[in-house]
């Protein structure tokens, strides 16, 4: 199984500052035939189901603010929030869908410092 | 509107069975692979199972393989999860989701279509 490891587990950030979350896969999740990285990022707020932010590592889902950015390739991926807003407080998860079983990272809790 | 609604959760004794249902509306259910994702209280997300758009392919996490069965009825726009021999560690909120709608869907779509239900709680306890 592909293991997804996120860092850090908890991330206190001041309002307006940058937040950076990392996700590392135990093997490459770059599909060579289409040059696509099979990783997605989700945001989950308390009491709500997760919300898709990015797929294919960097393809922003509809309605996601452009202060969010997904990047990376191969085994190392990053979710960046350029200027943290109060409504961004949530737990963020990466997901690999390169191979079954699909696997999530353990989550990163972003909070206001 | 686009919606997924789970039902069938509750309290169940260890070793017993439970069947979860997920009704879909507002989109062409039969075009999309469907997943179950669970979340234990205070814990992270765990992918459980997927079924392809036509039901021909099914995959499971190691933790439920051999005990849970995913199925679908496209004529009724409904997804199911049959949970047998449940264990305490199966206690969680179970969400049905298109999970981006990529892979296992008809026509290999390039753009994501991500829909989640609110979830149904399963508590395994004697």
- Cα distances from B78 to residues A7, A102, B10, B27, B69, in angstroms, run 37, 22, 19, 12, 14
> Under an 8 Å CB criterion, which residues of B touch A?
35, 37, 44-47, 50, 59-62, 95, 97, 99-100, 102-103, 112, 114, 116-119
The reported pLDDT for the residue numbered B106 is 85
Chain B residue closest to A55 (CA)? B112
- Kindly determine whether residue A1 and residue B62, on different chains, have CB atoms separated by under 8 Å: yes
Sign of dihedral through CA atoms B93, B96, B102, B104?
Answer: positive
The ranges of chain B with pLDDT < 50 are none
Nearest CA in chain B to A100: B59
| pLDDT less than 70: residues of chain A | none
Q: How far is A56 from chain B (nearest CA, A)?
A: 10
pLDDT at A69: 98
CB contact (8 A) between residue B45 and residue A107: yes
Token pair for A54: 């990015």
Tokens read off for A86: 């109060």
């Amino acid at each position: 199984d592909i293991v997804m490891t996120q860092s850090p587990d908890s991330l206190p950030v001041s309002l307006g500052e940058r937040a950076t979350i990392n996700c590392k896969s135990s093997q490459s999740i770059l599909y060579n035939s289409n040059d696509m990285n099979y990783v997605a990022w989700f945001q989950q707020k308390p009491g709500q189901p997760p919300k898709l932010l990015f797929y294919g590592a960097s393809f922003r889902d509809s309605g996601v603010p452009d202060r969010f950015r997904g990047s990376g390739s191969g085994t190392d991926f990053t979710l960046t929030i350029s200027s943290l807003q109060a409504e961004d407080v949530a737990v963020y998860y990466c997901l690999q869908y390169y191979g079954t079983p699909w696997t999530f990272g353990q989550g990163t809790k972003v909070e206001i410092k | 509107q686009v919606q997924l609604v789970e039902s069938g959760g509750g309290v169940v004794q260890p070793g017993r069975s439970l069947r979860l249902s997920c009704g879909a509306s507002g989109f062409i259910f039969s075009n999309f692979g469907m997943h179950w994702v669970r979340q234990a209280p205070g814990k992270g997300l765990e992918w459980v199972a997927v079924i392809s758009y036509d039901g021909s392919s099914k995959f499971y996490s190691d933790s439920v393989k051999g005990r849970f069965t995913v199925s679908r009825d496209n004529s009724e726009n409904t997804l199911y999860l049959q949970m047998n021999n449940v264990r305490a560690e199966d206690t969680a909120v179970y969400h049905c989701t298109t999970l981006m709608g990529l892979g296992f869907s008809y026509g290999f779509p390039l753009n994501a279509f991500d829909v989640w239900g609110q979830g149904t709680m399963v508590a395994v306890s004697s």
